[in-house]
Amino acid sequence: MTDHRPIRRAALALLAAAALGGCAVFRTPPPVTVETAYAQGMEAYQAGRYRRAAELLSQFVSSTGADPRLKGALMAMARSHLETREYVTAASEFLRVATEFPSDPEAAEARFGLCQAYHSLAPRPQLDPEYTSAAITYCESYASIYPGTPEAQQALAWVTELRGRLGEKQYQNGFFYFRRGLYDAAVVYFNDVLTVYPDTPSAPAALLRLVEAYGRMGYREEETAARERLLRDYPQSPQAASLAAPPADSAGR
C-alpha cells in the first residue's frame, strides 16, 4: 500500500508558503506619495470612481504647496464630491478655486459649481431656507457675470424655482395663522409674499387669502383693494378665476 502522507505534507507546506507570501504582500502596500496620490486620483476621476478620486486628491491637495496641478486637482475633487452628493464639501472646493484663481478659465465653472451645489442643498420650503438663500445669491451672481450663456440660463431657472420655494414658505407661514383664525398675524406674512416674492405662484394665493382674511375681520376697504389687485395683477391665475364678481356696493356688506 502506497504511503501518500509525505506528498500530502509537501503540498500543505507549499500552500502555507504561498499564503504567507500573499499575506506579506498585503501587509506592506507601497506608500502613497504626493505624486502617486495625484496620478491615481486623476486616474480614478477619469474612470468615474469618484469617491476614491476625492480621497486620493484630498491627500494631494493637503500635501502640496504652489503646485501648478493644484487647480485641476481641486476642480476634479469638487466635481467628484458633486457626483457623490457631498454638496457642502463640493461647494467649499469650488469656492476655493473661484477665490484663489478668479481670473482663470476654471473660475467660471467653479462659480457655476457653487450655484449647482447650493441648489442641490436647498431643502423643501418648510425647512430652514439658509441654503436656498445662498443658492439664489450664487446663481444670481453667476448669471450676472456670465450673461447669455447656457449655464446662466440654467442658473436663472434655478433662481426662479428657489424664489418660488421661499414664497411658498412665507405663504405657508401665513396660512398657519389663517386657519387658526389669527388673521392679523396671517396678513403680515401674506403681505410679505406680495412685497418680496410678487413674481411667484404664491403671490396670487396670498392675495386670495388676504381677501378672505380682511373680509372676516370686517376690513371692507382692504378686502376690496386686495380683490381688485388680484384681478388686475394676476388675471390668469386660478385664484382670480375663483373669485366671484365683486358686489356692487362692497361698503354695505
pLDDT surpasses 60 at 247: no
Look over the chain and give the mean of its residue pLDDT values, rounded to a whole number.
86
Domains in the chain, start-ordered, CATH in brackets?
32-106 (1.25.40.10)
Q: The pTM is what?
A: 0.75
The per-residue pLDDT for range 191-223, each reduced to its tens digit, is 999 999 999 999 999 999 999 999 999 999 999
Answer yes or no: are the C-beta atoms of 53 and 76 closer than 8 Å. yes
Does residue 14 carry a pLDDT above 50? no
Query: For residues 82 and 113, is the Cβ–Cβ distance under 8 A?
Result: yes
Residue with cell 475633487: 77
d(CA 73, CA 203): 45
Closest to 78 in 3D by CA, of 102, 103, 107: 107
Q: What is the pLDDT of residue 93?
A: 96
Mean pLDDT for 105-129 is 87
Q: How confident is the model at residue 9 (pLDDT cuts 50, 70, 90)?
A: low
- Positive or negative: CA dihedral 37, 42, 45, 47: negative
pLDDT computed for residue 5 by the predictor: 53
* Separation of alpha carbons 97 and 74, rounded Å: 7
Q: Report the alpha-carbon distance of residue 151 to residue 129 in Å, rounded.
A: 23
Determine the pLDDT at residue 197. Answer: 96
For residue 165, give the C-alpha cell: 420655494
The SS3 assignment for 117 reads helix
pLDDT band at residue 126 under the 50/70/90 scheme:
low
* Count of residues making up the chain: 253
- Greater model confidence, 203 or 123: 203
Residue 120 has pLDDT above 60, yes or no: yes
For 82-108, write each residue's pLDDT tens digit.
999 999 999 999 999 999 999 999 999
- Residue scoring higher pLDDT (9 or 92): 92
Q: Say yes or no to pLDDT of 17 above 70.
A: no
Cell match 477665490: residue? 99
Q: Which has more pLDDT, 81 or 131?
A: 81
**In the structure, what pLDDT confidence band is assigned to residue 18 with cuts at 50, 70 and 90?**
very low
Select the highest-mean-pLDDT range: 6-20, 25-39, 133-147, 232-246.
Answer: 133-147
- What does R_g of the chain's alpha carbons equal in angstroms? 31
Report the 10 Å Cβ neighbour count for 211.
23
Write the pLDDT tens digit of every residue in 159-187.
999 999 999 999 999 999 999 999 999 99
Work out whether the CA dihedral 226, 232, 234, 240 comes out positive or negative: positive
